[in-house]
Amino acid sequence: RGPTREELLEGLNEPQRAAVVHEGAPLLVVAGAGSGKTRVLTRRIAWLISERKAHPGSILAITFTNKAAAEMKERVEELVGKRARIMWVSTFHSACVRILRKEITALDFDGTGFKSNFSIYDAADQKRLMTLVCNDLDLDPRRYQPGAMLHWVSNQKNELKDPEDATKDARNNLEETYAAVYTTYQRRLREANALDFDDLIMFTVHLLQQLPEVRETYRRRFRHVLVDEYQDTNHAQYALIHQLCADNPEDLDGERVEPAELMVVGDADQSIYAFRGANIRNILDFEQDFPNATSILLEQNYRSTQTILTAANSVIGHNKGRKPKRLWSDAGDGARIVGYVADDERDEARFVSEEIDRLTDEGGLRPADVAVFYRTNAQSRVFEEVFIRLGMPYKVVGGVRFYERREVRDALAYLRMLVNPADQVSLRRILNTPKRGIGDRAVACVQALADRDRITFWEALRRAQDAPGLATRSLTAIQGFVAMVEELQSMVDAGERADVVLETVLARSGYVASLEESDDPQDETRVENLAELVAVAREFSDDPQAGPSADPADVDAGTVAPGLSDFLERVALVADTDQIPDAPEDDTGVVTLMTLHTAKGLEFPVVFLTGLEDGVFPHARALGDQPELEEERRLAYVGVTRARERLYISRAVVRSAWGAPAHNPGSRFLDELPVDLVDWRRTEAAQTRWGRPDLASGSAASSGLGTLTDAGRRNFSSAALRADAAARAKPAREMPSLEPGDRVVHDSFGMGTVVALEGVAEKAVASIDFGSEGVKRLLLRYAPVEKL
Ligand code: ATP
Ligand code: MG
């Protein structure tokens, strides 16, 4: 027995119900934070299955993270039962992987198409590959930084421009070089039978655009497409949806197929991924892109107190050119916002942890009810240190994640290379790890053979006896390696479980043994991490539903057991997105530390918004740039609206950034909060060393949050601070114009050499090698450096 209509519509207001039961034309639900968009989308899926008898396999729902997908699926299953399992609820990336595994062989790029066992390269793999590309093209890595080039390439892909388009569009030397980089980078990916994350989307779109049969298959299959967080889709993702859902008068047989029913939900004020190519226009232009679209507006917020909402509305109100919204709550005013000005970041972390202690002791809250947000991953470290010392249970979401650790990456490289020997990045990573006597010279000889005979690096290893100039000892080592890999590959071919393959790899390769022999204490932790990875693989192999690529329909029929490649896929996708680990068994849980970007879509009874300093949040990069500043402000809006009952805001007067302590003025977002909503616990910072004399004259006054009373602050804010902010956004003093190689002197670090430069004008950042002090990244606008 399925749920009744009443059960499906229970706990929804009028416009929410309208969205759930809507039929036909494309539907856009626009609404502010916490108004129930995600709830509506989830209910609609249940409604489609239960009331409209949609086949679960005909539903495609897109969420922003894997975690959100898992939750949505679970929720729908609770409502309509297990048959919901075969719906596709996933991120764009996961959905595209599933399509490409089936169809990519049909996309033949000049005769050397991809195979369906392609690898997925993550950020670190991409960087390595880009470094190889720099070598290929003889580019100076100090001038052409892999990170910057990857960003450029990513933008091209998000705009669906392939290397040819990019080459055609290049308008100057720099762009021509970048286009050449893009071309080589793509060629290398193809040789490695690997795709990066942006390729997943771009290739799927190309597939649908270029192959009408494939497009029709998926158009007929997906009768319902639903997209959460639509404001953060980029052009390629938009194009994908368009391919599936736009009205297309006739299909291949000249027969008209009704387009899929499309529902997107989003909030233009929460668009925070412009730097990844997200385009707010997708939501603003929905009605033009999908003629005859229906819009539904939700205005009641069910998440937060009125105080929190008023604060959020007030901040976002400073953005220009947005549609004003009337978001209201009937949850009552609730507690006032608590503010704290800390001496430094340790003091800030201490305040946060003491306050959490108090709330959990006296306020009846659990650590799990609390989240601490910050602008950049690096800010988590101090919280972690203080929390560990005080015994506050916590987890960090994002940051240096499990899957980024060296030993985990090594182990995964072994597995990836077994599945796809053409994957050169993985192969080279482990070729001599642990050391087995295959040195750089041997690698060069093998590479020469590969180049000469136009074969893959792996093929060349197998034919190493033909490699000119290869020493006998190296040849023996290589032959041993090849024999081992082939033996392991036969396990994989036989369909062995991922955990068994992994354990065998770790033993046969001597990897674990080499760690166990070492007396570096870190290596002990590494062994533990590998054990953890085996446990992850075991859990995965035990639960066939867990595989994102295994079509649940096939799994149900018992035809596909999850294999090694399914495991790798899961890992690649999990490691990419801000995956949130499950709460521990213990029901009081732990405090969550996360960046603001990761917090999207979530909610917590208590939220600490930390590091509210100009130059931290808003980020230094955004200070002189209106669009970027507005994006930072949307991020602030996202942060504030995560809180249900209590919001804390804090900043540190002095913060160590990149090694040097910085005196950052208070965030301009603090000035945008209504003063009467904030209860400042501490405004008198003990610090009086306001800035350095060579900073903008206004900065002392603007940091006055620490020295002014609330009343003084009220008078002082707005106009005076705005004028001051403008002054601050300009370089305070002559910035040295630097080139890599220049010698400089820094007030506290002494003599150094410039190794790299990023950004321009007031956003210029130099990486400077100060010898024994190490390499520091310094924002030139502030850094006391002089060119020698
Ligand atoms: P965001 O923009 O942050 O993603 P959202 O619009 O997706 O927010 P939801 O997360 O769906 O909002 O809902 C916010 C909270 O309000 C959730 O706890 C949800 O269960 C609750 N909620 C939504 N609609 C109602 C309703 N009609 N009655 C009671 N609670 C509701
Ligand atoms: Mg939501």
pLDDT digits (tens, 9 = 90+) for 522-563: 677 688 778 878 877 887 887 645 443 344 444 343 334 578
Residue 225 lies in a domain: yes
Measured in Å, residue 600 CA sits from the centre of ligand 2 at 8
Q: Which residue out of 10, 12, 35 has the highest number of ligand 1 atoms within 8 Å of its CB and is therefore the one to mutate? A: 35
Asked if 486 is an active-site residue, the reply is: no
User: 301 falls in which pLDDT band (50, 70, 90)?
Assistant: very high
Q: Residue 777: which of 788, 765, 785, 786 has the closest Cα?
A: 765
Phi and psi dihedrals of 451, rounded to 5? -65, -45
The two structure tokens encoding residue 294: 């229906």
User: 329 falls in which pLDDT band (50, 70, 90)?
Assistant: very high
Q: Residue 778: which of 617, 614, 613, 620 has the closest Cα?
A: 620
Measured in Å, residue 142 CA sits from the centre of ligand 2 at 42
How much is the pLDDT for 696?
32
* Proximal ligand: closest to the CA of 638: 1
How much is the pLDDT for 521?
61
How far is the C-alpha of 91 from the C-alpha of 379, rounded, in Å?
A: 27
How far is the C-alpha of 563 from the C-alpha of 446, rounded, in Å?
A: 31
Q: Are 134 and 144 in contact (CB under 8 A)?
A: yes
pLDDT at 690 over 80: no
Phi and psi dihedrals of 604, rounded to 5? -140, 145
Which secondary-structure segment (H or E) carries 779?
A: strand 775-779
354 contacts: CB under 8 Å, gap ≥ 6? none
User: 711 falls in which pLDDT band (50, 70, 90)?
Assistant: very low
Which secondary-structure segment (H or E) carries 553?
A: helix 552-556
**Alpha-carbon torsion 99, 101, 104, 106, what sign?**
negative
Residue 110 lies in a domain: no
How far is the C-alpha of 420 from the C-alpha of 439, rounded, in Å?
A: 23
Asked if 127 is an active-site residue, the reply is: no
Nearest CA residue ID for atom 2, ligand 1: 33
Give yes or no for residue 35 CB within 6 A of ligand 1.
Answer: yes
CB count within 10 Å of CB 409 equals 18
SS (H, E, C) 310-333: HHHHHHHCCCCCCCCCCCECCCCC
The two structure tokens encoding residue 459: 């093929």
Q: Are 117 and 88 in contact (CB under 8 A)?
A: no
Give yes or no for residue 13 CB within 6 A of ligand 1.
Answer: yes
How much is the pLDDT for 552?
42
DSSP for 2-43?
Answer: ---HHHHHTT--HHHHHHHH--SS-EEEEE-TTSSHHHHHHH
* Proximal ligand: closest to the CA of 312: 1
Measured in Å, residue 36 CA sits from the centre of ligand 1 at 3
Q: Which residue out of 38, 40, 327, 373 has the highest number of ligand 1 atoms within 8 Å of its CB and is therefore the one to mutate? A: 38
Residues 215 and 294 placed together within one structural domain of the fold: yes
Model confidence, pTM: 0.75
How far is the C-alpha of 547 from the C-alpha of 101, rounded, in Å?
A: 13
The two structure tokens encoding residue 625: 């740039």
Residue 197 lies in a domain: no
Cis bond before residue 141 (omega within 30° of 0): no
Residues facing residue 655 across a β-bridge:
662
Among residues 122, 125, 228, 632, which one is catalytic?
A: 228
Give yes or no for residue 43 CB within 6 A of ligand 1.
Answer: no
Considering 298, 326, 354, which residue would you say is the last residue of a domain? 298
Type of residue found at 463: R
Residue 570 lies in a domain: no
How much is the pLDDT for 483?
95
399 vs 167, more confident: 167
How much is the pLDDT for 48?
97
Q: What is the signed CA dihedral for 259, 265, 271, 274, rounded to 10 degrees?
A: -10
Helices (H), 679-755: 699-702, 710-716, 718-729
Q: Which burial class, exposed, middle or buried, applies to 510 when counting CB atoms under 10 A from its CB (0-12, 13-18, 19+)?
A: middle
Q: How many domains does the chain have?
A: 5
- E strands, 534-595, in order: 591-595
Asked if 67 is an active-site residue, the reply is: no
DSSP for 519-531?
Answer: --HHHHHHHHHHH
How far is the C-alpha of 407 from the C-alpha of 526, rounded, in Å?
A: 6
Q: Are 148 and 131 in contact (CB under 8 A)?
A: no
Atom of ligand 1 nearest to the CA of 267: 2
Residue 583 lies in a domain: no
Give the pairing type, strands 394-396 and 224-227: unpaired
751 vs 676, more confident: 676
Size of the chain, expressed as the number of residues it contains: 788
How much is the pLDDT for 81?
92
Among residues 231, 243, 270, 456, which one is catalytic?
A: 270
Asked if 270 is an active-site residue, the reply is: yes
The two structure tokens encoding residue 641: 């609206």
Write the DSSP symbol of residue 170: -
Q: Are 695 and 664 in contact (CB under 8 A)?
A: no
Give yes or no for residue 30 CB within 6 A of ligand 1.
Answer: no
To the nearest whole number, what is the mean pLDDT of the chain?
Answer: 84
* Proximal ligand: closest to the CA of 602: 1
Give yes or no for residue 325 CB within 6 A of ligand 1.
Answer: no
Q: Measured between alpha carbons, how far is residue 375 from residues 379, 380, 616 in Å? A: 7, 9, 7
Residue 348 lies in a domain: yes
CB count within 10 Å of CB 427 equals 23
Q: Residue 229: which of 262, 269, 265, 263 has the closest Cα?
A: 265
Residues 327 and 418 placed together within one structural domain of the fold: no
Q: Residue 45: which of 216, 227, 217 has the closest Cα?
A: 227
Residues 423 and 464 placed together within one structural domain of the fold: yes
CB count within 10 Å of CB 468 equals 8
Give yes or no for residue 16 CB within 6 A of ligand 1.
Answer: yes
SS3 265: strand
Give yes or no for residue 15 CB within 6 A of ligand 1.
Answer: no
How much is the pLDDT for 710?
35
Residues 251 and 359 placed together within one structural domain of the fold: no
pLDDT at 484 over 80: yes
Measured in Å, residue 550 CA sits from the centre of ligand 2 at 27
pLDDT at 325 over 60: yes
How much is the pLDDT for 543?
67
The two structure tokens encoding residue 29: 């639900």
Q: Are 182 and 190 in contact (CB under 8 A)?
A: no
414 contacts: CB under 8 Å, gap ≥ 6? 426, 430, 488, 505, 509, 511
How far is the C-alpha of 269 from the C-alpha of 322, rounded, in Å?
A: 8
788 contacts: CB under 8 Å, gap ≥ 6? 742, 743, 744, 745, 751
Residues 436 and 389 placed together within one structural domain of the fold: no
Residues facing residue 192 across a β-bridge:
none
Residues 609 and 718 placed together within one structural domain of the fold: yes
Considering 254, 279, 298, which residue would you say is the last residue of a domain? 298
Write the DSSP symbol of residue 652: E
Q: Measured between alpha carbons, how far is residue 85 from residues 194, 220, 504 in Å? A: 29, 20, 33
361 vs 729, more confident: 361
Give yes or no for residue 300 CB within 6 A of ligand 1.
Answer: no
Residues 615 and 660 placed together within one structural domain of the fold: yes
Residue 369 lies in a domain: yes
- Residue in this structure with the two tokens 């668009």, named with its chain if needed: 271
Per the structure, the complete domain to which residue 771 belongs is given by 743-787
Asked if 38 is an active-site residue, the reply is: yes
Type of residue found at 545: Q
User: 767 falls in which pLDDT band (50, 70, 90)?
Assistant: confident
Asked if 231 is an active-site residue, the reply is: no
pLDDT digit string, tens, across residues 579-638: 444 444 456 788 999 989 989 999 999 999 999 999 999 998 888 899 999 999 999 999
Nearest CA residue ID for atom 28, ligand 1: 11
Type of residue found at 18: A
pLDDT at 324 over 90: no
SS3 195: strand
Residues 218 and 92 placed together within one structural domain of the fold: yes
* Proximal ligand: closest to the CA of 31: 1
How much is the pLDDT for 776?
72
How much is the pLDDT for 137?
93
CATH of the domain at 38: 3.40.50.300
- E strands, 75-172, in order: 88-90, 119-121
Atom of ligand 1 nearest to the CA of 31: 6
pLDDT digit string, tens, across residues 167-225: 999 999 999 999 999 999 999 999 999 999 999 999 999 999 999 899 999 999 999 99
Type of residue found at 520: D
Among residues 38, 184, 577, 598, which one is catalytic?
A: 38
Residues with CB under 5 A from ligand 2 (ion): 37-38, 601
Which range among 276-280, 466-470, 701-705 shows the weakest confidence by mean pLDDT? 701-705
How much is the pLDDT for 561?
57
How far does the chain reach from its first CA to its final CA, in angstroms? 80
Measured in Å, residue 33 CA sits from the centre of ligand 2 at 7
Give yes or no for residue 38 CB within 6 A of ligand 1.
Answer: yes
Measured in Å, residue 270 CA sits from the centre of ligand 2 at 10
Mean pLDDT of 268-272: 92
User: 686 falls in which pLDDT band (50, 70, 90)?
Assistant: very low
The two structure tokens encoding residue 424: 């050169």
Residues 519 and 430 placed together within one structural domain of the fold: yes
SS3 564: helix
User: 781 falls in which pLDDT band (50, 70, 90)?
Assistant: low
773 vs 582, more confident: 773
How far is the C-alpha of 703 from the C-alpha of 492, rounded, in Å?
A: 61
**Alpha-carbon torsion 495, 498, 118, 458, what sign?**
negative
Nearest CA residue ID for atom 21, ligand 1: 302
CATH of the domain at 419: 1.10.486.10
- Residue in this structure with the two tokens 């709550």, named with its chain if needed: 329
Which secondary-structure segment (H or E) carries 547?
A: none
pLDDT at 362 over 80: yes
Nearest CA residue ID for atom 30, ligand 1: 302
DSSP for 425-470?
Answer: HHHHHHHTSS--S--HHHHHHHHHHHHHHT--HHHHHHTGGGSTT-
Mean pLDDT of 764-780: 75
Measured in Å, residue 452 CA sits from the centre of ligand 1 at 62
pLDDT digit string, tens, across residues 653-673: 988 754 457 888 999 999 999
User: 377 falls in which pLDDT band (50, 70, 90)?
Assistant: confident
How much is the pLDDT for 722?
34
Residues 159 and 288 placed together within one structural domain of the fold: no
In the annotated binding site for ATP, the residues are: 31-38
How much is the pLDDT for 275?
79
Mean pLDDT of 143-148: 86
Q: What is the signed CA dihedral for 292, 293, 299, 303, rounded to 10 degrees?
A: 170
Q: Are 198 and 155 in contact (CB under 8 A)?
A: no
Residues 496 and 527 placed together within one structural domain of the fold: yes
Phi and psi dihedrals of 328, rounded to 5? -135, 165
User: 273 falls in which pLDDT band (50, 70, 90)?
Assistant: confident
CATH of the domain at 132: 1.10.10.160
Measured in Å, residue 312 CA sits from the centre of ligand 2 at 16
Residues 719 and 640 placed together within one structural domain of the fold: yes
Residue 398 lies in a domain: no
11 contacts: CB under 8 Å, gap ≥ 6? none
767 vs 236, more confident: 236
